[in-house]
Structure 1
Amino acid sequence: MNHPDLEALPTESADVILAENESRLHAPARTIENGPWRVQLRGDELADIEYQGHPVLRAIRPVVRDHDWRTLVPEVESVPEVESATGDDDDASLRLAVGFTGFGSEYAADVAVSFSGDGLTVAFDGTAPQDFRSNRIGLVVLHRPDDGGRRVIITAPDGTRTESAFPTDVSPHQPFMDIAALAWERDGTAYTLEFSGDVFETEDQRNWTDASFKTYSTPLSRPFPVSVRAGERVQQSIRLTAAPTDQAAGSTAPSTSAERADGVLTVHRQVQGFVPGLGTSASRSAARLGVVPGLDALIVELPGSGPAAAEVLHHGERQAAELDAPLDVRITAASAADIAPRLDLLPLGKVARLGVFSSDGHVTEPELWDELRVEAQRRGFTGTLLAGARSHFTELNRRQDVLPGDAGALTYSITPQMHATEVPHIVESLPIQRLTALNALRIGAGKPLHIGPVTLKARFNAVSTDGGYDPATVEAMTTDPLQGEDFTAAWLLGSIAALTLPGVDSVSYFEASGPRGFIADDGTPTPAFRLFEKLAALRGAEVLEAPQGIPGLVLYPVSSGSGVLLFAANLTAEPLTTAVRLEDGETHTFDIPAWCHTARRLD
């Protein structure tokens, strides 16, 4: 692995970061098989739940979130063996002791998992060791993203039954409310989830690029945060049952192998898109930068008030000059009165795009847009005025009714770690990034998209009840130690491939330099930068149709004047070997280490 950002750290700190990165990238997973059930135990998460070889749920897991929606970190004290409760092989149980810590809060819970024939039950029994404020405590179910469009029957606590369906487009609001049970069918089996201990509801987590729908308690219509007293208990349980349907006899376990002719993946010459413009964001790092040919723009997020704006802009102008890139300025304003003073600071001739967003709601509110448009026109600005959300796709989706119709383009940001920090969740966000872009293009009715910043961790807490991250913790909350790893370069390629769509004009990633950047503070480029630099120079080049079907493999074939350059990434914890050929060309064998990427010309 590469760790250029660790050179300036004390040895002990560097060793700790290296160990933490390795533990995340190669986190142990334990397969538990009992009767017809198969699950992966990853820490506190019962992941990839299968019944008779068919996928059922993405996960069931306990969650504790504080008053600011920050997730307390779970740690399983020990992983005992699965025990048979009655001597019957189909009747067994597992009990986990989980401690939750973070942000000055603690929580403890016993999570009991039991298998009994065609039933799987997860029970939660939690206690607060000390007083704290919380927005959520208990079990959550993560439904698979391929359940989109699937019919479901919702049973309310009063016994009322309602027919509905998991949404296909990303739903801005909760699709299912007031839940005591859910029932649906897939792969020849009827499934039922029964909830006890609280009232549950479902949200579409694809809004945050999570690869799931989430059913959780307590309803958001109830006041939060709540005060949790020391010794106060929360008890919940979720029971999943399965029963064959009339179609069960003809169902077979899904194939896990990719289809490829003669064992070789073929890249066809059909064009599926073009390399989008690639940009990055300004940082406070003093590292000197060099010219990046083809770079789209440098985003500068300008606070709408306070003396810091001039300093932020100064750093941005310096870095843009070093990169030889125009500016993309995003003003965060509390009111329309903040806009004109910020425009007076700007070298508008160097600004390619200009946008404004509410400091509270994070979207382009009508009164802010009207002021920006008038003031920019008065100053002779000739670039693009863009609107949207400075936070997640969530806010763009939920407030699409206020977006200005005369905006030149739309924008929103992406982070894969709004709800979970485990590497599998980060990887699974990639196809959902594509889904959010398709939904944003639909919302914009053809307006071009400038997506970003795309960052491993969120730049700020968009759902904070306290006004954002505590200054003392902002660095830890916004910086992922994986930034300098080969993994991040592989994930970057997966993201660019996912967002290569007609209408996506540009995507901006990370920061130019510093702990969240492409370049370390000492000037050393990260693996992600080396990839980013190559692809930025290929802006507008044709991207050919890439074969699909191998989990964790990303193929991104780019046609340039000198031939076809195939970028490939392995987003798994094991080395990957695959054979690839260009249509009517020679076969090339790729050996890609775990969490790495490579590039090679195809003949």
Structure 2
Amino acid sequence: MTGADLVFQLYGTKKTESAPQVLKAGKLTAQLAGGNLRAITYDGVEILRAISYLVRDRDWGTYDPALSILAVTETETGFTVAYNARCQGPDDTFLDIVASIEGTAGGTLTFRAEARSATGFETNRCGFCILHPIVGVAGTPVTVEHVDGTVEDTQLPDLIDPWQPFKDMRAITHMALPGVSVECRMDGDTFEMEDQRNWSDASYKTYVRPLALPWPYRIPANEPVSQQITLTITDSRPASGNRPASGGNGPIISLTPGTVTGTMPAIGLLITPEEAKASLTALQRPDAPKAQDLLFHFDPAAGHDISAFIDFAALAAIHNGTTTLEIAVPCQRPLDAEMQEIAARMRAAGFAPDAIMVCPSVDRQSTPPGSQWPDCPPLEDVYAAAAKAFPGVRLGGGMLSYFTELNRKRVPGENLAFISHCTNPIVHAADDISVMQTLEALPFITRSVRAIYGDKPYRLGPSTIPMRQNPYGSRTMDNPDGGRIPMANRDPRHNARFAAAFAAGYAASVLDAGLETLTLSALTGPFGLYAGKGEPVSEGGQRPLHAIVKGLAEMAGQRWQAVTSSKPGKVLAFQVGAPSGHAVWVVNLTAEELSVDTGQLGMPSAWARLAPFEITCIVA
């Protein structure tokens, strides 16, 4: 197998991401990629996830600026970086950026940028974004200095904050490890922070230009926009230096039994009207996963009509599990009239789902801070009309979009049979590392849902790498070239081992939420387990994701036990009871070959070698 063939198997594309350049200044290190910094560490501990200079378009898509005149200088005492960049906008407009970065062994890091447009330039946001990590940082004390000079001693949110935890920011200081504080100072504009865990990003994001200000806005021609980020690290530890614990930095990753147990969730599969006929064929294949639930999507505003219900009825007739219908309710006419019309079409088609989840269509669109809530009937009335139209059917609610919208518009759950929402890992960033890092945020999301809704039955998904709808703009992004782009309705990694590892890691990350149902894919189409024509993924057209969803469906209802990984950012695992003993699912989340020690789990061999993005099941 050639190197290009392996890359294709791993990512679904032969295009690879450029390896970042590692910059060092004493105990300070940072990775330089695309003109931005990520994985900023001090003495081996991550102090910031990223400092990036970003420009967003009117749909919150991120420009990919063309860099030029890049110069990197490294010395024994630090490093400097300088570059120019250009963003090409619509209608022959463009934005030029001049940036410089300096890091010193004394523990300072400075990132300056000036943007200027000769044409004028429309944008939703232009400036710095700073990402604080969440693992080990969530809920810890911070000091926030505001633009008026006042200082606030507070803490980063533990449960996910629906709005901005901090506004009017000039600086924020946190403890990276005992005796080491990190101040991040932001000059040139007013900054505020949002809790990016809402979108399953593994970070708190501090960004420029408050959302309460209008957007999109226009940068006037020939008017400079200058900003600067200054990172100051204060190390007050004794000179001898107590280095942080390695946290499992050795070559072998250890797996140890955890104390949390539960029941594996039912597995669902998404069925859309557009893919219903292809899904019917796929469901009759001998290798089709024995999923417990089929989740049918219905949206009258998208032109879905009785023909969709006829196709749904044919699928339900050969399915041995339960069926759920999710409805994007138009809310444009009297609710009773809309609901009764949908119910009549269902009856006429002979389609009778076991459960129905309703959500006003308008609630799929995000309402950012400072924006006016769109017109929508009270949710109590929406649910009452649904209960009247579909008597005797389990009625669920929540959001057809993401946790962000559920957290900001908390639905009245008292009379609902279950709560549901989705997640998507490419809302803000689509590089390989950022996508996998979203798994870190999932336990925070499910714990926040449980804090709001208690032990209410909880369904999660469909959650896939490609985005099925964009609550933050007018559309999802087309991706004809198979790139790694945010908010794309197709993603090459869905065809590859990357998606299989992501799905297995996803399941491992949400097990302790006590989910009723987990939906990670469709049967066919861009979110499907089976590839279409011209997509050479495997014999029989199975995407690698197929084996994961099929395996999870076979384990539904079994008891699971948590497994602790010494490197959870690289390997996740969980144990499942089996008739002949127990099995351990181990997931490599990286493109590296890794060794794991399973000796403490009672496995027959003390360690296993994992190939890139490999998922292995070890049976004792």
Task: Return the TM-score normalized by structure 1.
Answer: 0.87
Partner of 2:112: 123
C-alpha distance after superposition, 1:566-596 (max 9, x if no partner): 2222111211122324645522542221122
Supply the AA of the counterpart residue of 1:185.
Answer: M
Matching residue within 399, 408, 416 for 1:407? 416
Partner of 1:290: 283
- CA separation of 1:35/1:45 partners in 2, compared to 1, >3 Å: closer, same or farther? same
Q: 1-side partners of 2:100 and 2:318: how far apart? A: 57
Partner of 1:113: 101
Is residue 450 of structure 2 the alignment partner of residue 441 of structure 1?
yes
Matching residue within 543, 548, 563 for 2:560? 543
Partner of 1:599: 617
| 322-331 or 521-530, which deviates more | 322-331
Q: 2-side partners of 1:320 and 1:128: how far apart? A: 57
Partner of 1:95: 82
Partner of 1:341: 341
Matching residue within 13, 19, 23 for 1:21? 13
Is residue 395 of structure 2 the alignment partner of residue 385 of structure 1?
yes
C-alpha distance after superposition, 1:226-263 (max 9, x if no partner): 12345443221100111233678664234142699xx7
Asked if structure 2 preserves the Cα contact closer than 8 Å seen for 1:280 and 1:299, the reply is: yes
**How many aligned residue pairs are there?**
580
Matching residue within 304, 309, 325 for 1:308? 304
Matching residue within 352, 355, 372 for 1:353? 355
- Report matched runs for 1:28-427 at 5 Å: 28-77=19-68, 80-83=71-74, 89-100=76-87, 107-116=95-104, 117-128=106-117, 130-145=119-134, 146-187=136-177, 188-245=179-236, 251-257=242-248, 265=254, 268=257, 272-283=261-272, 284-285=274-275, 286=278, 288-290=281-283, 292=288, 294-305=290-301, 307-321=303-317, 324-335=320-331, 336=335, 337-346=337-346, 350-362=352-364, 367-382=378-393, 384-400=394-410, 402-427=411-436
Partner of 2:583: 565
Q: 2-side partners of 1:583 and 1:304: how far apart? A: 51
How far residue 403 of structure 1 moved from its aligned partner, in angstroms, is: 2.3
| 483-492 or 368-377, which deviates more | 368-377
- CA separation of 1:237/1:356 partners in 2, compared to 1, >3 Å: closer, same or farther? same
- CA separation of 1:600/1:304 partners in 2, compared to 1, >3 Å: closer, same or farther? same
| 221-230 or 208-217, which deviates more | 221-230
Asked if structure 2 preserves the Cα contact closer than 8 Å seen for 1:44 and 1:75, the reply is: no
SS of the aligned residue for 2:565 comes to: coil
SS of the aligned residue for 1:183 comes to: strand
SS of the aligned residue for 2:72 comes to: coil
Asked if structure 2 preserves the Cα contact closer than 8 Å seen for 1:142 and 1:213, the reply is: yes
| 426-435 or 67-76, which deviates more | 67-76
Partner of 2:571: 553
Asked if structure 2 preserves the Cα contact closer than 8 Å seen for 1:131 and 1:230, the reply is: yes
How far residue 153 of structure 1 moved from its aligned partner, in angstroms, is: 1.9
How far residue 207 of structure 1 moved from its aligned partner, in angstroms, is: 0.5
| 558-567 or 175-184, which deviates more | 558-567
Asked if structure 1 preserves the Cα contact closer than 8 Å seen for 2:358 and 2:386, the reply is: no
Asked if structure 2 preserves the Cα contact closer than 8 Å seen for 1:153 and 1:164, the reply is: yes
How far residue 214 of structure 1 moved from its aligned partner, in angstroms, is: 0.5
Q: 2-side partners of 1:99 and 1:18: how far apart? A: 32
Asked if structure 2 preserves the Cα contact closer than 8 Å seen for 1:365 and 1:403, the reply is: no
C-alpha distance after superposition, 1:293-325 (max 9, x if no partner): 641322222113464333444454444555544
Asked if structure 2 preserves the Cα contact closer than 8 Å seen for 1:486 and 1:597, the reply is: no
C-alpha distance after superposition, 1:54-91 (max 9, x if no partner): 3211110111111121222345447533255xxxx325
| 278-287 or 482-491, which deviates more | 278-287
How far residue 177 of structure 1 moved from its aligned partner, in angstroms, is: 0.4
> Where does the alignment leave 5 or more consecutive residues of structure 1 unmatched?
7-14
Asked if structure 2 preserves the Cα contact closer than 8 Å seen for 1:486 and 1:595, the reply is: yes
Partner of 1:519: 530
Is residue 541 of structure 2 the alignment partner of residue 534 of structure 1?
no
Partner of 2:536: none
SS of the aligned residue for 1:386 comes to: strand
- CA separation of 1:128/1:392 partners in 2, compared to 1, >3 Å: closer, same or farther? farther
- CA separation of 1:367/1:247 partners in 2, compared to 1, >3 Å: closer, same or farther? farther
Q: 2-side partners of 1:474 and 1:53: how far apart? A: 37
| 480-489 or 350-359, which deviates more | 350-359
Supply the AA of the counterpart residue of 1:290.
Answer: L
C-alpha distance after superposition, 1:127-147 (max 9, x if no partner): 346554211011110011132
Partner of 1:505: 516
Supply the AA of the counterpart residue of 1:179.
Answer: M
Partner of 2:368: none
Q: 1-side partners of 2:152 and 2:600: how far apart? A: 51
- CA separation of 1:387/1:259 partners in 2, compared to 1, >3 Å: closer, same or farther? farther
Asked if structure 2 preserves the Cα contact closer than 8 Å seen for 1:44 and 1:74, the reply is: no
- CA separation of 1:213/1:264 partners in 2, compared to 1, >3 Å: closer, same or farther? closer
Task: Return the TM-score normalized by structure 2.
Answer: 0.85
How far residue 264 of structure 1 moved from its aligned partner, in angstroms, is: 8.2
Supply the AA of the counterpart residue of 1:587.
Answer: S
How far residue 532 of structure 1 moved from its aligned partner, in angstroms, is: 0.8
Asked if structure 1 preserves the Cα contact closer than 8 Å seen for 2:603 and 2:618, the reply is: no
- CA separation of 1:264/1:503 partners in 2, compared to 1, >3 Å: closer, same or farther? closer
Supply the AA of the counterpart residue of 2:164.
Answer: Q
How far residue 379 of structure 1 moved from its aligned partner, in angstroms, is: 4.3
C-alpha distance after superposition, 1:7-55 (max 9, x if no partner): xxxxxxxx9999983445x541221101331111233331111223332
How far residue 355 of structure 1 moved from its aligned partner, in angstroms, is: 1.6
Asked if structure 2 preserves the Cα contact closer than 8 Å seen for 1:39 and 1:48, the reply is: yes
Matching residue within 593, 596, 601 for 1:578? 596
How far residue 446 of structure 1 moved from its aligned partner, in angstroms, is: 1.4
- CA separation of 1:264/1:31 partners in 2, compared to 1, >3 Å: closer, same or farther? closer
Supply the AA of the counterpart residue of 2:406.
Answer: L
SS of the aligned residue for 1:97 comes to: strand
Partner of 1:10: none
Q: 2-side partners of 1:315 and 1:204: how far apart? A: 41
Asked if structure 2 preserves the Cα contact closer than 8 Å seen for 1:72 and 1:103, the reply is: no
- CA separation of 1:421/1:378 partners in 2, compared to 1, >3 Å: closer, same or farther? closer
SS of the aligned residue for 1:500 comes to: helix
How far residue 100 of structure 1 moved from its aligned partner, in angstroms, is: 3.9
Asked if structure 1 preserves the Cα contact closer than 8 Å seen for 2:10 and 2:493, the reply is: no
Q: 2-side partners of 1:564 and 1:258: how far apart? A: 28
